[in-house]
Structure 1
Amino acid sequence: MKSETTPLAATKPMADSVYDSLKESIIAGSLSPGAPLRQDEIARSFGVSKVPVREALLKLEVDGFVQFRKNRGAIVRHLSSAEILQILDIRIALECRALELALPNMIDRDFAAAREILTTYSRETNSEGWSELNIRFHETLYEPSGNPQLLQLIADMQQRIGPYLRKFVSQAAGLERPAREHDQILDACQRGEAAEAVALLRAHIETTKKETAASLRRQEGHDS
């Protein structure tokens, strides 16, 4: 057990390790929204003091993954329905711009990689698989943009909505409609029709937002 007086510089690598592990568990859904994050238990599981654990939790709070409640400790942050839909709005703006930047730089290898993902997508049978392949498809489209900061913002949005993407977004959208729209987007990209490809992408995410909103309303109706 590390001393509680361990210098800050020495705790930084420990805090980063705890942060990365907890963030991965939250994104994967292993730690579900509302789950308590008890510092003493986390410290024991990592074999560290509570100092780096608290640093990690504070960073996760800043990044929107954790919420501290007065006198009750930290929990995995639960996104409201409004926040989920707002993140989908942000996706529209960021991802349409990324595709605009990527299109002039796309080469045959990019199209082939995206097409291979869609082939695998068509064989997938569960929502978790759809969600992962959907993310990979979009990442493949945007990677040629050559704008790593924009790509990181998109990745951050995907991570924030990760658990909800599987629970609400992928289940609401299903397989058939997104698969058809992915094909249409990729076809437009290959034909060099930039305006059409961006318009199809925008409509694709907007439809997903509408389906997600309906799914969230049904969920809230069941919970009330």
Structure 2
Amino acid sequence: MASETRPPGKVGPARRRGLADEVADTVRAAIFDGTYPPGTQLRETELSAELEVSRGPVREALMRLEGEGLLRSGWHRGAVVVELSADDVAEIDSLRGALEHLAVQLAVEHASDEDLDTVARAADRMARAGDAHELAALDVAFHDAVYAATGHRRLQEAWNTIRSQVHLFLVSRIGVSVDGYLTTVPGEHRELAEALRARDTESALRLFADHREHALDVLTGRAD
């Protein structure tokens, strides 16, 4: 094999990696904007033709998205966009809550005023969302800013491991109901940003928890 005969100290070219990244980005965006809703079957041959790339980068991209928790593969079924089960929802929500609890505490204690300005701007952008899927993406971006404000590198890395699944959680929530979503969610995030700005840990923790619980109630059908 070529890898066994390469000169010492040399590595082979990273063939197709850049193209696989592009395919993964394209498919991920299509999941998040509703083009490929949960339950959609994604076939290598069809994606290869649609994206005008060979099947190798498509296969690599689908494996990467499966690793992110966005796709599941089944025998003779290919890759399918994940439909979150009750257990999936509970696990994502509980893990998100644990990470966010620490993130809020650290942001209140250690974030600079400039960091909190960035969080506030992320909340302001949500008011200009054109549709529910765009708002969900801006929602995730808001939380990106909160984690960045903590200054805790490993916490940010932990968030990144579940980030795509949280985004899918929000996409699934939209699939259940968009009633009041565009009108209420931006205001909720402005309140979250203001609580961080006030350096009020107790209030901020309560508001973040209430925000998560409302999304969970909608997704599980418990909302009034």
The code of the aligned residue for 2:173 comes to F
Counterpart of 1:210 (choices 217, 220, 224) is: 217
Q: Structure 2 matches for 1:114-193, cutoff 5 A?
A: 114-122=119-127, 126-168=131-173, 171=178, 174=181, 178-179=185-186, 181-193=188-200
C-alpha separation in 2, matches of 1:55 and 1:123:
35
Q: CA deviation at 1:93?
A: 0.8
Distance 1:212 1:47, change over 3 A: closer
Distance 1:35 1:212, change over 3 A: closer
| 1:145-201: CA deviation from partner (whole Å, max 9, x where unpaired) | 122342243244342243441452573673565455434433332232223322332
C-alpha separation in 2, matches of 1:60 and 1:121:
26
Counterpart of 1:87 (choices 92, 95, 110) is: 92
Asked whether the 8 Å contact 1:37–1:75 carries over to 2, the reply is yes
Distance 1:127 1:46, change over 3 A: closer
Q: CA deviation at 1:68?
A: 1.9
TM-score (norm: length of structure 2):
0.74
Distance 1:123 1:57, change over 3 A: closer
Structure 1, unaligned stretches of length 5 or more?
A: 1-6, 219-224
Structure 2, unaligned stretches of length 5 or more?
A: 1-11
Question: What SS does structure 1 have at the residue aligned with 2:39?
Answer: coil
Moved more, 116-125 or 66-75: 116-125
C-alpha separation in 2, matches of 1:8 and 1:71:
32
Distance 1:105 1:74, change over 3 A: same
C-alpha separation in 1, matches of 2:38 and 2:154:
28
Asked whether the 8 Å contact 2:126–2:138 carries over to 1, the reply is yes
Distance 1:126 1:61, change over 3 A: closer
| 1:199 paired to 2:209 | no
Distance 1:17 1:196, change over 3 A: same
C-alpha separation in 2, matches of 1:182 and 1:120:
10
- Per the alignment, residue 222 of structure 1 pairs with none
Moved more, 117-126 or 60-69: 117-126
Asked whether the 8 Å contact 1:172–1:215 carries over to 2, the reply is no
Q: How many residues align?
A: 211
Asked whether the 8 Å contact 2:62–2:71 carries over to 1, the reply is yes
Q: Structure 2 matches for 1:38-53, cutoff 5 A?
A: 38-53=43-58
- Per the alignment, residue 24 of structure 1 pairs with 29
- Per the alignment, residue 15 of structure 2 pairs with 10
Question: What SS does structure 2 have at the residue aligned with 1:10?
Answer: coil
Distance 1:215 1:199, change over 3 A: closer
The code of the aligned residue for 1:114 comes to V
C-alpha separation in 2, matches of 1:71 and 1:56:
18
